Amino acid sequence: MKISALLICLLPALYGAQPPRIDFTSNLPAKGTFPKVWIHGSKSLLDNHDPPVQVHWFNEHTVVMRENKAYNYEAAFMYLYFGNDRAILLDQGSTALRSEWPLRDVVDKVIAEWCRKHGRQDIPLVLAFSHLHGDHWAAQNQFIDRPNTRIMGLTHEEMVGFWGMKNYPEERVEFDLGGRKLLIWGSPGHVEDEFAYYDTYTQILFTGDMFYRGYCYITYWDKWMDSMARLMQFADKFPIAYVVGCHVEMKKDGSFFTYGTTYQPDEAPVQMDLAMLRRTYEFAKKITKPGVFFTGDVYLCNQTRMTSTLDVNPYVY
């Protein structure tokens, strides 16, 4: 009986049958968990023993990863979503050389694990990012020679064309991973070219660097306000389980970490809720000049790029 059962299990592979399609449309939002504590650096970088990349399975088809602060103080969060036909990695972190920071090896291992669990040999991988700052795309260089991989380009035309957008930033497009769909639209303000990503399966809204628990550096205030208005309009129509960004730069009590720190004990969680986003938008409506403003949830840095204290603002004009 054991041999017969084994043969039955092997028959689909022997005859090239496709594995069963995963249902990404029922019982939404798909439940998942975030860790109580992320790796957050150490007092001595030389004594840091955390993995280069922390891997957390939010659920069986969703992985959240974080860059070790001992490798780069930005400690970027990255989001890996699996569908039936392809997987997508949103943001790739700040270290281009695989020999210095092995993101490629970690991602390959995670993909192999998912494929093994779901009866697949491989799955195509798409690399995309939230915006054109090096800590969000530099490590895509590690994937240049990776088979079965498609990578977003580094110009406005390539970024917008990657999604087939014709009316950036207002146009919202759909990207199908195979039953699991992402909704994508422009979200400039932090920089000229940025995207918001909404996963219909987990109902997680990924807002990149334009909104996260930390210093929301806003280069173009009017564009940022327009992007926030688009987020509000989207939230009026679509359910949002979590809002997530790319970094954490503040403590649970709301106080901030010094810019560039490599040790962040008692840091706030990466996940936020829709109420925080709405409160921030209402607060921002009252801001009329450059400066750093604490909303009670995040820090809005209006045209104060790289300012790291709240009492000195050399960019006011």
Checking if the pLDDT of 7 tops 80, the result is no
φ/ψ of residue 136, rounded to 5: -115, -10
Amino acid 307: pLDDT: 45
Checking if the pLDDT of 244 tops 90, the result is yes
Amino acid 18: pLDDT: 81
Strand intervals (E) in the chain = 53-59, 62-67, 77-82, 87-90, 125-128, 149-151, 173-176, 181-186, 195-199, 204-206, 215-218, 242-244, 271-272, 291-294, 299-302
**CA nearest 80: which of 70, 72, 71, 89?**
89
Q: Find where tokens 């957050």 sit.
A: 40
Amino acid 24: pLDDT: 98
Q: Which residue did the predictor score with more confidence, 15 or 162?
A: 162
Range from 170-179, 231-240, 299-308 carrying the lowest mean pLDDT = 299-308
Checking if the pLDDT of 211 tops 90, the result is yes
For the residues 242-270, what does the mean pLDDT come to? 95
| Six-digit token string for 302 | 């209006």
Amino acid 15: pLDDT: 47
| Cα–Cα dist 66/52, whole Å | 9
φ/ψ of residue 133, rounded to 5: -115, 145
Q: Work out whether strand 77-82 and strand 299-302 pair parallel, antiparallel, or are unpaired.
A: unpaired
> Please, which pLDDT band fits residue 16 given cuts at 50, 70 and 90?
low
Model confidence, pTM: 0.91
Strand partners, 312: none
Contacts of the segment 97-102: beta carbons below 8 A, 24+ positions apart = 97/141, 97/142, 98/142, 100/71, 101/52, 101/53, 101/67, 101/71, 101/72, 101/139, 102/52, 102/53
Percent of the chain with pLDDT over 90: 86
Range from 26-30, 132-136, 214-218, 246-250 carrying the lowest mean pLDDT = 132-136
| Cα–Cα dist 90/237, whole Å | 24
For residue range 161-206, what is the model confidence (pLDDT) as tens digits?
999 999 999 999 999 999 999 999 999 999 999 999 999 999 999 9
State the DSSP code for 120.
-
Amino acid 306: pLDDT: 52
Checking if the pLDDT of 233 tops 90, the result is yes
> Please, which pLDDT band fits residue 305 given cuts at 50, 70 and 90?
low
Can you identify the CATH homologous superfamily of domain 38-285? Ribonuclease Z/Hydroxyacylglutathione hydrolase-like (3.60.15.10)
Q: What is the mean pLDDT of the chain?
A: 91
CA distances in angstroms from 157 to 131, 167, 173, 175, 193, listed in the order given: 13, 12, 16, 18, 10
For residue range 18-32, what is the model confidence (pLDDT) as tens digits?
889 999 999 999 999
Range from 217-221, 282-286, 304-308 carrying the lowest mean pLDDT = 304-308
| Cα–Cα dist 153/167, whole Å | 18
Angle subtended at Cα 231 by Cα 226 and Cα 235, rounded to the nearest 5 degrees: 150
Strand partners, 127: 89, 151
For the residues 214-239, what does the mean pLDDT come to? 96
Amino acid 210: pLDDT: 96
> Please, which pLDDT band fits residue 259 given cuts at 50, 70 and 90?
confident
For residue range 64-118, what is the model confidence (pLDDT) as tens digits?
999 999 999 999 999 999 999 999 999 999 999 999 999 999 999 999 999 999 9
> Please, which pLDDT band fits residue 155 given cuts at 50, 70 and 90?
very high
Amino acid 303: pLDDT: 86
